[in-house]
Amino acid sequence: MTDAPDADVIALAGKLFDAARTGDDAALAAYLDAGAPVGLTNDRGDDLLMLAAYHGHAAAVATLLERGADPNRANDRGQTPLAGAVFKGADDVLEALLAGGADPTAGTPNALDTARMFGKEHLVARFEGR
């Protein structure tokens, strides 16, 4: 018996990560509906939702949230998808994450701190008013 990862599993994970990065929400939906884990993470702790959010794909974000992705899961650096969306200026992703239950105070630095850091006062006011 070997502990080496199965090549087919690695290939599938690669397809899922690529679909999240490129915003292929149809492929994500198909794989997740067939049983692929929505919480799959890479070697940096980035899950599919983080990759879709960071790369600006609101439809993929919505697809992942509809299938149970955790909007507040931080990667290995403590970053959340919402903080990434604030950093990248992806308003449609930000809206999808907030609609999916993202907490502006989750993570380090969190989305509120990120908004403050980049002078996005409209987001600071919105997050503080939640």
Please provide the distance, in angstroms rounded to a whole number, between the alpha carbons at the two ends of the chain: 52
Report helix, strand or coil for 47: strand
Cα distance between residue 92 and residue 23, in whole Å = 13
Q: How far apart are CA 84 and CA 53, in angstroms?
A: 7
Residue 93, number of CB atoms within 10 A of its CB: 27
**HSE of 114, CA atoms in CB hemisphere, 13 A:** 22
Full residue range of the structural domain in which residue 79 is found: 7-128
Domain count, the chain: 1
Q: Is residue 1 part of a domain?
A: no
Per-residue pLDDT of the chain (130 residues; tens, 9 = 90+): 567 678 888 888 999 999 999 999 999 999 999 999 999 999 999 999 999 999 999 999 999 999 999 999 999 999 999 999 999 999 999 999 999 999 999 999 999 999 999 999 999 999 998 6
Residue 79, Cβ density class (10 Å: 0-12 exposed, 13-18 middle, ≥19 buried): buried
Q: What is the CATH number of the domain that holds 115?
A: 1.25.40.20
pLDDT in tens, 90-121: 999 999 999 999 999 999 999 999 999 999 99
Can you tell me the distance from the alpha carbon of 61 to that of 99, in angstroms, rounded to the nearest whole number? 11
